[in-house]
Amino acid sequence: MIDAGSTGSRLHVYRFRQCAADDPVQLKDEALFVQTIPGLSAYTPDLAGQSLDPLLQQALQAIPKNLRRKTPMAVRATAGLRLLGHEQSEKVLDAVYDHIHARYPFPIIGGRESGVTIMDGKDEGVYVWITVNFLLGHLKSKGAPTAAVFDLGGASTQIVFEPDRIDPKAMVEGDHQYTLTYDNHDYVLYQHSYLGYGLMEARKRMHQRILELADQVKPDLHVSHPCLPRNLEFSFPKNAPSPEATFIGQGLHDACTNIVKDILNKNAVCLAPPCSFDGIHQPLIAEAFAQGPIYIFSYFYDRTVPLGLPASFKLPELGRLTERVCMGEYFEQLPDGDLRDEMLDRPEWCLDLSFIYGLLSHGYEIPDDREIRMAKKIDGVETGWCLGAAIALLDEAGLEQDA
């Protein structure tokens, strides 16, 4: 399974055991996980397919020669290609399919039409939910609370959970309601994918909003920025020949959180209450998901764990860490020189943490007293949507005939 994300491409090779079509799928292991940057959206169509060669060459080494033509594969692009627009993204995917089909032995299930595609945002979130609950063993225990999942990519963020109760007060009808059938059991899920609210897109939104607010007061090339470290000078757009402005960092956690609330559009018209942000219906976590565990992934993990946030925490802990980073206290007390250098080389740590905190607390409205868990892997397997998508692919491939 190739995850063609907005910031990079990642290849997963899984080994399953399934002797008959009606047998439950058993995961033996994740035989290979490799990645490369940047993502497909950074390439012209003629180079997009070639960008996957380093990944596919390693797949050839990992999969025995006699099994290569029996090992199905698929390419699923996510929000990065969605943002390119239909015409350009289709050209990229056509080129990727042609390149893989001509050079590699792995059968692409569904051909170009369904084997090399842009994944719907709702499927992305649901596949993450399948992955996590499959690895945690929650799908084996019928009636047991399942885990809620919150994913943060570069261009989009997803939420999926199974409400504790399903009634009109918990969830109204609409695209956000997703019925998943797995192992002869129906799971009625709430899901939504917010395109444009991934971490990289949020950075752009926040910088742009601060410029707009400054111009409303007094147009100036030097603009105070609450979400950058104190006294830091930062040109925006970054590395442009003629920057629009130079941001002067203030390191103000509360003021930065207000910018996050602003871009989350919490005041948008809510046509189907209750709503989370941007006018999107969402059952309240405090009321509709009171029992199961909460898991967060991807950039939620990548931007907090290096700073010492534990794998299990509550939002006030994240808020305190964010404030320390924004005010500069974290840098002053940091004994790890390599981490200090990395943080100074990436001045948007304060902004990133403020967005993550604001998204979880004010956007999704996770209560302060709820435990939140992070995991890069569960039982040695990478979390994310790929395993869930691979399990779904097994049904299409009919692998039991080759067992």
- The active-site residue, picked from 124, 201, 348, 382, is 124
Mean pLDDT of 306-333: 89
pLDDT at residue 382 above 90? no
Q: What is the pLDDT of residues 256-291, one digit of tens each?
A: 999 999 999 999 999 989 999 999 999 999 999 988
| Mean pLDDT score across all residues of the chain | 87
- Residues whose CB falls within 8 Å of the CB of residue 27, separated by 6 or more in sequence, listed in order: 14, 15, 16, 134, 135, 381, 387
Provide the 8-state DSSP code for 266: T
pLDDT at 14: 93
pLDDT at 167: 60
124 is an active site residue: yes
- Residues of the chain with pLDDT > 70: what percent? 91
The answer to whether the beta carbons of residues 186 and 195 sit under 8 Å apart is: no
Q: What is the DSSP string of 142-197?
A: TTSPPPEEEEE-SSEEEEEE--SS-STTT--SSTTEEEEEETTEEEEEEEEEEET-
pLDDT at residue 298 above 60? yes
pLDDT at 399: 46
Q: What is the pLDDT of residues 149-189, one digit of tens each?
A: 999 988 889 999 999 865 644 567 778 888 887 777 888 89
Residue 3: beta bridge partners? Answer: 10, 76
Max CA separation in the chain (angstroms): 70
β 245-249/233-236 pair status: antiparallel
Helices (H) and strands (E) in the chain, counts: 15, 17
pLDDT at 401: 40
Least confident of 159-163, 214-218, 347-351, 398-402: 398-402
Helix axes 121-136, 386-397, angle to 10 degrees: 90
Q: What is the DSSP string of 238-251?
A: TT-SS-SEEEEE--
Q: In order of start, what are the domains of the chain with their CATH numbers?
A: 2-119+385-402 (3.30.420.40), 121-379 (3.30.420.150)
DSSP 3-state of 48: helix
| Cα separation values, 155 from 302, 335, 385, 386, 389, Å | 15, 33, 15, 17, 20
pLDDT at 75: 96
pLDDT at 231: 83
pLDDT at 400: 43
- Write down the pTM of the prediction: 0.82
**227-234, long-range: CB < 8 A, 24+ apart:** 227/256, 227/259, 227/326, 227/348, 227/350, 227/351, 227/354, 228/347, 228/348, 228/350, 228/351, 229/325, 229/326, 229/328, 229/331, 229/347, 229/349, 229/350, 230/327, 230/328, 232/347, 234/347
- The rounded distance, in Å, linking the Cα atoms of 380 and 58 is 19
pLDDT at 116: 95
- Residues of the chain with pLDDT > 90: what percent? 52
H/E stretch holding 335 reads none
- Residues whose CB falls within 8 Å of the CB of residue 134, separated by 6 or more in sequence, listed in order: 27, 387, 388, 391
Q: What is the DSSP string of 71-117?
A: --B-EEE-HHHHTT-HHHHHHHHHHHHHHHHHH--S-BTTHHHHHEE
The answer to whether the beta carbons of residues 177 and 190 sit under 8 Å apart is: yes
Mean pLDDT of 378-388: 86
Residue 296: phi and psi, rounded to 5, are -125, 150
pLDDT at residue 121 above 90? no
